[in-house]
Amino acid sequence: MAEAFESVPFAAYEAGVAALAARVPAELGWHARVALDLAWTWQPGGEAVFRAIEPRLWLEVGRNPVRLLATASRACLERVARDRAQLERAEALARTLDAQRMRASPSASGTNAVAYFCAEFALHASLPIYGGGLGVLAGDLLKQASDACLPVVGVGLLYRRGYFRQRVDPDGRQHEFWSAFPKQLLPIVPVHDATGAPCTIVVPLRGHDVRARVWCAQVGRVPLYLLDADVAENDALERWITAQLYVADPLFRLLQYAMLGLGGVRALRAVGVEPAAIHLNEGHPALAAIELAREDLGRGAPFAEAMERVRARVVFTTHTPVAAGNEHYDDGVVEEVLRSSAIPIGEVLALGRGADGRFGMTELALRVSRSVNAVSARHGEVARAMWRGVARDDAPIRHVTNGVHLPTWMAPPMRALLARHLGEGWEARAADPGTWAPLEGIPDEELWGVRERLRRALVDFVRERSVLDRLARGEAIDYVEAAAQSFDPGVLTIGFARRVAAYKRLHLLIHDRERALGLLGGARPIQVVLAGKAHPRDEPAKDLIREIFTLKHDPVVGRRVVFLEDYDVSMAQVLVAGCDVWVNLPRPPQEACGTSGMKAALNGGLNLAVLDGWWAEACDGANGWAIRSPEGLDERAQDARDAGDLYDLLECEIVPLFHARDEGGIPRAWVARVRASLRTIGPRFCAARMLDDYATGVWREG
């Protein structure tokens, strides 16, 4: 990490803590320290420190500790100030986080930082600057980098209106709304320069000098720098650049990506970080490479030479195996955005030229990077075929399969169970399969006990949320109460929750209505939890939600199937933990990786999924169930076949296995699968393994 940071460790964080602490009773200083380090979110007992202050308010403020401290009444805070036990818990947690933040880097030197650029980061529900899987991956990577003491800094945008919020009407039509978050109440801190003035950068965009403030989200040891164009010097349109994720207009979207790429590098210079490597997570930030070359170009270096020097420092992860997902822009749009930037636009256009002659960020990223990777073995094959002729021979597309941050996604009861059996410090050794060997010695009763507890917590959540969602939709009272009365903590629970997109084939669940109703209403019923947002302009995806809702008039569906609105990371934590079976039905080979199934596996959930993305390399026949989905059929034939496999597996294998109980009520064969799933998936699909792969295979070379 750069000198500026070592001389004043975590200066922005410390200043933010001082400002927050000044607004609460002096005794709550430890609470302020914890509130501004997002590492509290993955510490055992972290949430309890804040929830105890005012449990109802904690949920009302979206589990945002800064907002909690700012909105709790003075009387409430003073009550906490007199509560020794509460203060001691906060102090202990703050000291733990301080110690973790201050650990020396194993390879500390001035210039070894990796700057990880991404258009979205999902760290916690209280910082809603993400849309879905891409953001979750980026957030998990930063958290793991902190845990592993790797010198990573994040770079992103501070969207003050975030991603859209979802409501669904009684016919299943999705409605979107946005709400702005008061920035001073987000768990982030403003960065200041050496004179104490707010750290601001200037990016020439569309002929104007657009300004952005730099904020920092402290993710344990890892700072995430966030650019915010909502400053007084910018006009209304410029301020909108960082208003919300993935706006519709292509020119505007390119302005966002230019702010991220060009502005991100300027922000790093402003805070004194000279990164050894720039990691482009997806193509959006690719202009960062051009900004890196700018000084060289200013000294008169030829463009090709400057870019070769830059390439030694840039690496790229591609995530999109669907051609349409890799956006293209007309030359005029690129020229308009960059016209005042002193960047040689013709050369940039040539570097980003795609097969159809138009400019693409993925093409640009492929040509400016020394290392390129896809996100699963299967996706690697697809990406190599897809980018033949664009990817450079000296940077062939390899793969690093995604992984998930274990402390974030493994629910506390499972974490506590494994901590008892896997030994001191096991989470730091999670990427080693040997760490998981003691799973064999955990009694079935204990493992099953945790599964029952997690399912019960999910059922409690579903009962409450389904009533609120249905009331807000204006449904009849009978229907409002149906799921709350019928969701059963003893019933086999199936989950399907992720972004709704046509290729994810939510509709396969109801492809054969008779069989679906038979599974829901039979003697050994199942219950189903659904959630997910469709992109606002993705009409086919929105139609899929409507299609699911056409079944709701069957009484058994009202009781046994819920669609929970407004999926986000905190809902995801409850769902992936509580479901017995996690379903994924992508049309292969369109699932680049998929990560929610990994999260389910960490909690003892079993995957039932099409062999695509990560599941193609994870499924061994004993740790879940596979739908083979042969390619080459037409789409309708493929759907019919895959739906048939889905129902066959549920009817003939999954439901009977779940009910094969011994005299103690334990489904021994089921628990054996849970154990096999944890043992085989835990070490291979955790973020610790992913980060090892990046650190040794991608970041280190060059």
Ligand X SMILES: *Cc1c(COP(=O)(O)O)cnc(C)c1O
Candidate list 16, 29, 128, 132; residue touching ligand X; CB under 6 A = 132
Checking 136-141 for CB contacts under 8 A at 24+ apart, the result is: 136/404, 136/569, 136/572, 136/595, 137/281, 137/375, 137/402, 137/595, 138/281, 139/219, 139/405, 140/403, 140/404, 140/405, 140/408, 140/409, 140/687, 141/116, 141/281, 141/687, 141/690, 141/691, 141/694
Q: Which stretch binds ligand X (CB under 6 A): 2-10, 86-94, 353-361, 563-571?
A: 563-571
Q: Which stretch binds ligand X (CB under 6 A): 88-96, 242-250, 257-265, 594-602?
A: 594-602
| Least distance in angstroms from the C-beta of 344 to ligand X | 38
Nearer residue to ligand X within complex by CB, 338 or 609? 609
Nearer residue to ligand X within complex by CB, 371 or 584? 584
| Least distance in angstroms from the C-beta of 100 to ligand X | 24
Q: Which stretch binds ligand X (CB under 6 A): 132-140, 148-156, 200-208, 539-547?
A: 132-140
Alpha carbon distance 465, 609 (integer Å): 26
Identify whether the C-beta of residue 591 lies closer than 8 Å to the C-beta of residue 610: yes
Give residues 566-585 in contact with ligand X (rule: CB under 6 A).
Answer: 567-569, 572
Spell out a b/e string for 136-164, using b for 16 or more CB atoms within 10 Å of the CB, else e: bbbbbbbbbbbbbbbbbbbbbbbbbbbbb
Q: Which stretch binds ligand X (CB under 6 A): 266-274, 464-472, 510-518, 561-569?
A: 561-569
Which secondary-structure segment (H or E) carries 497?
A: strand 492-497
Q: Which stretch binds ligand X (CB under 6 A): 262-270, 426-434, 591-599, 615-623?
A: 591-599
CA dihedral 455, 457, 459, 460 (to 10 degrees): 170
Does 418 bind ligand X (CB under 6 A)? Our answer is: no
Task: Output the CA torsion sign for 463, 465, 470, 476.
Answer: positive
Nearer residue to ligand X within complex by CB, 352 or 594? 594
Give residues 486-505 in contact with ligand X (rule: CB under 6 A).
Answer: 498-499
Give residues 136-165 in contact with ligand X (rule: CB under 6 A).
Answer: 136
Nearer residue to ligand X within complex by CB, 531 or 654? 531
| Least distance in angstroms from the C-beta of 140 to ligand X | 9
Identify whether the C-beta of residue 375 lies closer than 8 Å to the C-beta of residue 298: no
Binding mask 84-123 for ligand X (x = CB under 6 A): ----------------------------------------
Does 594 bind ligand X (CB under 6 A)? Our answer is: yes
Candidate list 595, 607, 629, 638; residue touching ligand X; CB under 6 A = 595
Nearer residue to ligand X within complex by CB, 30 or 130? 130
Nearer residue to ligand X within complex by CB, 13 or 567? 567
| Least distance in angstroms from the C-beta of 569 to ligand X | 5
Using CB under 6 A, count the residues that bind ligand X. 13
| Least distance in angstroms from the C-beta of 570 to ligand X | 9
Nearer residue to ligand X within complex by CB, 38 or 572? 572
Nearer residue to ligand X within complex by CB, 138 or 310? 138
Alpha carbon distance 30, 365 (integer Å): 43
| Least distance in angstroms from the C-beta of 392 to ligand X | 29
Nearer residue to ligand X within complex by CB, 594 or 667? 594
Give residues 47-66 in contact with ligand X (rule: CB under 6 A).
Answer: none
Q: At what angle do helices 331-338 and 250-258 cross, to 10 degrees?
A: 40
**Number of neighbours of residue 376 by Cβ within 10 angstroms:** 26
Distances (CA, A) of 241 to 285, 365, 367, 589, 598: 14, 22, 26, 34, 34
Identify whether the C-beta of residue 497 lies closer than 8 Å to the C-beta of residue 575: yes
Nearer residue to ligand X within complex by CB, 345 or 377? 377
Nearer residue to ligand X within complex by CB, 411 or 572? 572
| Least distance in angstroms from the C-beta of 691 to ligand X | 17
Alpha carbon distance 219, 215 (integer Å): 13
Of 302, 9, 281, the C-alpha closest to 120 is 281
| Least distance in angstroms from the C-beta of 133 to ligand X | 3
Alpha carbon distance 255, 222 (integer Å): 27
Return all residues near 600 (Cβ < 8 A) that are at least 6 apart. 495, 576, 577, 579, 582, 606, 607
Strands 152-157 and 606-610: unpaired
- Contact positions vs ligand X (CB under 6 A): 132-133, 136, 498-499, 567-569, 572, 594-596, 599
